[in-house]
Chain A
Amino acid sequence: MSVEASPMAIPISADRTRRGSWHLPTVSRSMLLSTLTVAVLLAAWAVVTEMGWANELFLPKPQAVWAAFVKTMTKGYQGATLLQHLGASLSRILVAFALACLVGIPLGVLMGVSKNARALLNPLIEFYRPLPPLGLYTLLVMWLGIGESSKLSLLFLAGLPGIVISTIQAVTSVDPVYVRAAQSLGATRRHLLLHVYLPAAGPLILAGMRISLGFTYTVLVAAEIVAASAGIGWMIWDAAKFLLSDVVIMGLIVLGLTGVVLDLIMRGIARLLMPWART
């Protein structure tokens, strides 16, 4: 989702000095460069389509995609407006992601603290993690049916390993000096968890959550292929059947932008919760 997804990357930007507070971002050099990339891409798209170098069936003009956007916002696509489609998708993603965090973080902490727990659970996580989501999905549909539960399960399973693995890493990399210092001051296990492990591991866990949200996002279209009747992923899939490439591209742009916004929100939350972290 972002080049800064790696927890090791330390962004060198002016707003580090003001972290933890909300300000309008100043126009920096990197922002200008980013804008340039977008502008060049848009210009190339416009030129290629205006000159008729691309078949309009596959690459419609920017204005056609814009028209599809306006039409879907106002009149809707097959019974639901763009915001309703987006709402259906986002609620699926957020519910599944929240479940993945609720299960994944405790599981990761447990596996990080206890070697036995890690040995017991690792085979499961390591086995299903590399499975392609669509292969998994056929089985989920057979077990759970075509309703919401199979869709949520797929999104949940896509998000889970990222969180678990980064939480394990985060917990095991907590400096043992912190732990011993707290213990010598008489910290109980509960104190250790709440005041040493979680604050120290927090930034890495949050980085894992960001990556995991990205994974959840990438399987959205797959999750909405089977028997959905609303959702951005479904809209893209359905439009492709009728070769409405303007709707397909519009949907992809909306998906991409929403993903960026979600990631920004996650980073904002990280800054608020953990001002000591470099996110």
Chain B
Amino acid sequence: MMKRLVATLAFAALTLSAPARAEDKPAKVTVGYLNLVNAQLVTKHLGLLAKEMPGVDIKYVKVGGGGDMLRAIAGNDVDFGGLGNPPTAIGATRALPIKGILVINLLDYVEAMVVRTDKNINSLGDLKGKTVAAPFGSTTHYLLLQALKDEGVDPASMKIIDLAPSDIAAAWLRGDIDAAWFWEPNLDKAVKNGGKILITSGEMSKRGYPTWDIGVVMNAFAEKYPSYVEKFVKAECEGIDFWLKNPEKTAEIIAEELSLPLPDATRMMKGTGMVPCEKQIGGEYLGTSAKKGKFVDTLVATADFLVKQERLPKLLPRTDFEAFIQPSYLEKVVGR
């Protein structure tokens, strides 16, 4: 009995320590993608992931925002996901079993604060007494609070409410809210119905508060199927490449995927920053395995902010955020 137990344990230890010699093929890969405008839509539309992973059942799940994505990850409902820097900082601090493997997009004017034209709001100070919506825990909620703090406006002087992007659009049309900081494709509905842009996420980036979305993989999946993580990165890189080289065709794809008129899709595309994969391992972005890039700085700054907002219990050391960024798959894909 004892002997058998020992043997089993030894066997288990062996198989665990052996570096995935005969790597299995996953039966199914679930990709959670954020409902926003970026090259993941191109990858999905062109079926690039399916080409990289023949015989694997690929499932795409649309997720409304970072908060929902965190729940999906915590619930182990996805293999790959995408997160903005605030939810990433939350996930890394709470030790969610994920790693950041590629830059999905940088956020420029694809995210912005829209205000009601007839309410005479010309600065953040004018928001006093108004109702302002943002999806809590997302990039725009973070930027809203950051911007208010920067300009010395007390967040308690207005009513800040938590709404999902699609609910913001509905509430805007009903006239329930005066301002909202959120993203395309729903942002446009507010702008076209009596709204104007007060400030964009791109402007906040220039002020030193960049926001971006990063592709993440579940640790368990990455350990079991490392080459499939590479395949995922490769497919997404092809999507990004297509986006950069064929803007017109991309706009058509975006328009079709999000049921938008073509001019709107083209404009939203331009508001999104797309980084070619070979540049992503540069110091401005993820960096290399040996020397992690500026994304770590953004994560540390974001986490620090969230700790001050009492949304996170404590600020982890920088090394924890460095460990979260994992450019090794990207390095293999771009051949370095």
Contacts and interface: CB of A to CB of B under 8 A. Distances in A.
A26 B235 CA distance: 70
B70 A78 contact: no
A58 interface: yes
B153 interface: no
19 contacts: A57-B95, A142-B170, A145-B174, A145-B176, A226-B163, A226-B167, A227-B171, A228-B161, A229-B161, A238-B162, A240-B67, A240-B71, A241-B67, A241-B136, A242-B137, A242-B306, A242-B312, A243-B74, A244-B313
Nearest to A145: B176
A146 B167 contact: yes
Given A241-B137, A243-B74, A243-B91, A146 B163 contact: yes
B237 interface: no
Given A241-B136, A241-B137, A227 B90 contact: no
Interface string A136-149: 00000110011100
Given A78-B310, A238-B136, A57 B96 contact: yes
Contact of B176 (A146, A229, A234, A244): A146
Given A141-B170, A146-B167, A229 B70 contact: no
B161 A146 contact: yes
Interface string B180-208: 00000000000000000000000000000
A38 B90 CA distance: 33
Nearest to B177: A146
B94 interface: yes
Interface of B: 67, 70-71, 74, 90-91, 94-96, 133, 136-137, 156, 159-163, 167, 170-171, 174, 176-177, 306, 310-313
A58 B76 CA distance: 12
- Measured as residues with beta carbon below 8 angstroms from the partner, the interface class of chain A is 20 to 34
A58 B95 CA distance: 11
Nearest to B67: A241
Contacts of A142: 170, 174
B161 A227 contact: yes
Given A57-B96, A227-B161, A243-B91, A145 B171 contact: yes
Interface string A20-45: 00000000000000000000000000
Interface of A: 57-58, 78-79, 141-142, 145-147, 226-229, 234, 238, 240-244
Q: What is the interface of chain A mostly: helix, strand, loop, or mixed?
A: loop
B176 A57 contact: no
Contacts of A228: 161-162
Contacts of A79: 156
A219 B136 CA distance: 21
Nearest to A240: B71
Contact of B94 (A57, A141, A145, A226): A57
Top 3 closest pairs, chain A to chain B, by CB? A241-B67, A241-B137, A227-B161
A234 B67 CA distance: 14
Given A229-B162, A243-B91, A57 B167 contact: no
Contacts of A238: 136, 162
Contacts of B159: 229
Given A229-B161, A242-B137, A243-B70, 18 more contacts: A79-B156, A145-B174, A145-B176, A146-B163, A146-B167, A146-B171, A226-B167, A227-B176, A228-B161, A228-B162, A234-B162, A240-B67, A241-B136, A242-B90, A242-B306, A243-B74, A243-B96, A244-B311
